[in-house]
Amino acid sequence: MVDPSLRDFERIVFFTGAGMSAESGVPTYRGAGGIWREYDYRRYACQTAFARDPDAVWEFHNFRRELVSRCHPNGGHRLIAWAEALLPRVTVVTQNIDGLHQAAGSRRVFELHGNLWRVRCASCRTSVQDEHVVRHELRCPSCGGWWRPDIVWFGDMLRSDVVMDAERAIRGCDLFVSIGTSAVVYPAAELPLLAVRGGALCVEVNPEETPASEHYQLHLRGPATAMLARLAAGIPELDAALVDP
């Protein structure tokens, strides 16, 4: 199959996972070298752990913040952001919590698993967006409750409004590009099927085959930025996004 061009589509959804940010140096959480091979999520990334020892949970999440704060958007992130500015309708649905899509300039982003740089009060539900820094103030000034990282931990439910917005965008797209997703994290792994049922052209960008590969008409086996460049070929403005600033 000849590579499609992004300019030939009206409603594009980029569905991104850990492989999207790996080129930026963001550590993955599964697979060889993944964080969950070194750290037990039951001690650091679930509500039970937070209720038992919030200081320990925050020590771990500040460690994650330190790691991610050193990372910057890569060419793939920038290309997607430029595509949003140039093309009729581009949406990002991401499983990543690193905020790199927004840092690259994307504005229409649905974060299925939350944002590492946002906190919410476990008591009064106030939400605050942080800069990309370690958080030292761990108590809400309004009620004294604990700030909690506003991310989806193991055992948490996804936010229903975010899921509904993501589903709406995916059902209505004519091009669905999955980038660096493992296709094993549910319920997010089920979302590509909405694009399949809606008749969109579905493209999988991943160095390796995944459990969902059979649902895609086109497979681009390689790193995210290089494979996105193939889809942007012939669009000079998007080619420019691949050049490091």
Q: DSSP label at 137? A: -
Q: 113, 132, 136, 215: which one is catalytic?
A: 113
Of 205, 168, 172, 176, the residue nearest 192 (C-alpha): 176
Burial of 70 (0-12, 13-18, 19+ CB in 10 A): exposed
Buried b (16+ CB within 10 A) or exposed e, 146-169: bbbbbbbbeeeebbeebbeebeeb
SS3 (DSSP) at 134: coil
Tokens standing for 124?
């009064």
Q: Round to whole Å and give the CA distance between 187 and 194.
A: 12
Known catalytic membership, residue 132: no
SS3 (DSSP) at 55: helix
Taking each helix axis as running N to C, give the angle between helix 224-231 and helix 75-86, from 0 to 180 degrees, rounded to the nearest 10.
30
Phi and psi based region of residue 214 (left: phi greater than 0; alpha: psi -120 to 50; beta: remaining): alpha
Catalytic residues: 113
